[in-house]
Amino acid sequence: MGGASLKRIDCLKAIYPALEECAVVSIMGAAAAELYSLGHRANFFYLEHAMGLASSIGLGIALSQPSRKVVVIDGDGSVLMNLGGLTTLARSRPPNLVHLIFDNETLLSVGGGAPGGYRWFTTATSTGTDLAAIAEAAGFPHAQTVRALDDFEAAVLDAFNGNELSCIVAKVEAEMPKSFLMDIHMLENRFEFPRALQQPPRDRSQLRRPTRITKEEPTTIPALKSREE
Amino acid sequence: MPVSVANSQLVYDAVKGVGVRMVSALPETWLVHLIRMADEDPDMTLVRLAKEEEGVGVSAGAHFAGVKSAMLMQNHGFLQSINGIVGVSLLYKVPLLMLITDRGGFGEKDPWQTEGGKHTRPVLDALQISREDLTRPDEVEPKVAKAMTLAQSSLSPVALLLSRDLMWEEPR
């Protein structure tokens, strides 16, 4: 406990501008709500369930689009549900994937926390489990733990600029977001996300659908036709 | 090895033929040739999983990025993936092609395979996941093609059950 209390929302604010060109996969709950509160973008996908699979989705994207930077925003509770996934990431070793883990030592978003930072259902990271050490031992070429905002920002920007699979664990407060409200339906998010990732051609004339049916003859009403003649 | 190389090749060619370029898998005796074929194919990305449920996430990510994928697994791999299938594929309407080697049916000698085989179809049906059996070589290509078509049009998981008659060549 260094005393310097790091907040998830401040971390997200610090890196938000750098997320613009990335594919971002966030876990549910507090992380999703806070990212959303900073301003939703079509390249953000919020996985509202399936705890543990955010990094697997990120892996699928990273392997499919090697030229795009993929950022997974994960949490200690989710990562602990899919520790094997860290080994799959490590052996697949996509150089374009950055795995951020906000470690608040609590299952906050599924009810293990309460306003004011009160934690009544902690995870094993509260008793010494070291996720960065696990990632490193799993084979991540780069893994580190940060406890201060400056360190977090520097580590993430280094990872973004670098070209190797990275895991950055930020030890943060178990603080609730100001609001869990997200004014976007998960299916709307689900369909806009691949559209953003698959960037349709910029030439708008190619996007315009034909409005005329060329093969069909124009409709004529016999009575009117005879009057015209 | 009494696992059919010829029929594994048929399945592999059919899967590749419908545009699959990423396969996630865990080994199973009947899958050895299929996984090797994916591994040796420079056009195919093989993701070696630690646990099958990860494959549901990998396939969803690939779909979002515009790449067609498939999962290779055994009955217990499917049963292990249920939360991912419900929480990602069904909840978010994401196509998922699952090729499940169907152990535990008539002719099964391994006692430990018999429960998983018994429960695979009822669980698929409970989740309303469309399924077909692959039993004859001549039905492999059309059924794989139709399964992929349905997965993409319905935005949902579909299952092909690879049967003993197709995958195993041991004389009875």
Q: Is residue A206 over pLDDT 60?
A: no
pLDDT (0 to 100) of residue A63: 98
Contact A60 B58 (CB under 8 A): yes
- Spell out which residues of chain A touch residue B61, defining contact as CB-CB under 8 Å: 25, 56-64
Nearest CA distance, B50 vs chain A (angstrom) = 5
Buried b (16+ CB within 10 A) or exposed e, B107-144: eeeeeebeebbeebbebbeebebbbebbbeeebbbebb
Buried b / exposed e along A12-33 (16+ C-beta atoms within 10 A)? bbbbeeebeebbbbbbbbbbbb
The per-residue pLDDT for range A119-163, each reduced to its tens digit, is: 889 999 999 999 999 999 999 999 999 999 999 999 999 999 999
| B58-99 residue pLDDT tens | 999 999 999 999 999 999 999 999 999 999 999 999 999 999
Residues of chain B contacting A197 with CB distance shorter than 8 Å: 64-66
Task: Please give the C-alpha separations between residue A218 and each of A211, A221, B104, in angstroms, as whole numbers.
Answer: 14, 10, 64
Count of CA atoms in the C-beta half-sphere (13 A) of A167: 28
- Name, in order, each residue with C-beta under 8 angstroms of B129's C-beta and a sequence gap of 6 or more: B85, B156, B157, B158, B159
Q: Does domain B5-167 have CATH number 3.40.50.970?
A: yes
- Enumerate the domain spans of chain B: 5-167
* DSSP SS3 for B43: coil
- Beta-bridge partner residues of A73: A26, A100
Average pLDDT over residues A187-195: 97
Contacts 24+ apart (CB under 8 A), B118-124: B119/B75, B119/B79, B120/B75, B120/B78, B120/B79, B120/B161, B121/B161, B123/B78, B123/B79, B123/B82, B124/B78, B124/B159
Residues of B with CB under 8 A from a CB of A: 22, 45, 47-51, 53-67, 69, 83-84, 87-88, 91-94
pLDDT in the model for residue B93:
98
Q: Under an 8 A CB cutoff, do A53 and B63 touch?
A: no
Query: Which residues in chain B have Cβ-Cβ distances shorter than 8 Å to A59?
Result: 47, 54, 57-58, 61
List the beta bridge partners of residue B158: B97, B130
Query: What CATH architecture is A8-197?
Result: 3-Layer(aba) Sandwich (3.40)
Q: For residue A116, what pLDDT is reported?
A: 77
Check residue A119 and give its pLDDT.
84
Are residues A26 and A54 in contact, defined by beta-carbon separation less than 8 angstroms?
A: yes
Work out the minimum CA distance from B4 to partner chain A, whole angstroms: 29
Instruction: Dump pLDDT digits (tens) for A176-188.
Output: 998 888 999 999 9
Alpha-carbon distance values, B139 to A6, A96, B5, B120 (Å): 59, 40, 17, 21
Residue A38 in contact with partner chain B when CB distance is under 8 A: no
In total, the C-beta contacts within 8 angstroms joining chain A to chain B are 118
What confidence category does residue A109 fall into, taking pLDDT thresholds of 50, 70 and 90? confident
> Beta strands A118-119 and A113-114: pairing type?
antiparallel
* Residue-range domain boundaries for chain A: 8-197
B91 phi and psi, to 5 degrees?
-65, -40
Contact flag A53-B54 (C-beta cutoff 8 Å): yes
DSSP B85: I
Task: Give the model's pLDDT for residue A118.
Answer: 79
Q: Check: CB of residue A58 under 8 Å from CB of residue A22.
A: no
pLDDT of the residue at B120: 97
Of A128-137, A210-219, B102-111, which gets the smallest average pLDDT? A210-219
| Inter-chain touch A60–B65, beta carbons under 8 Å | yes
Mean pLDDT of chain B: 96
User: pLDDT: is A217 or A9 the higher one?
Assistant: A9
Tell me the shortest Cα–Cα distance from A125 to chain B, in angstroms: 22
CB contact under 8 A, B61 and A60: yes
Q: How far apart are CA A139 and CA A136, in angstroms?
A: 5
pLDDT in tens, A14-49: 999 999 989 999 999 999 999 999 999 999 999 999
| Local confidence band at A2 (pLDDT 50, 70, 90 cut-offs) | very low
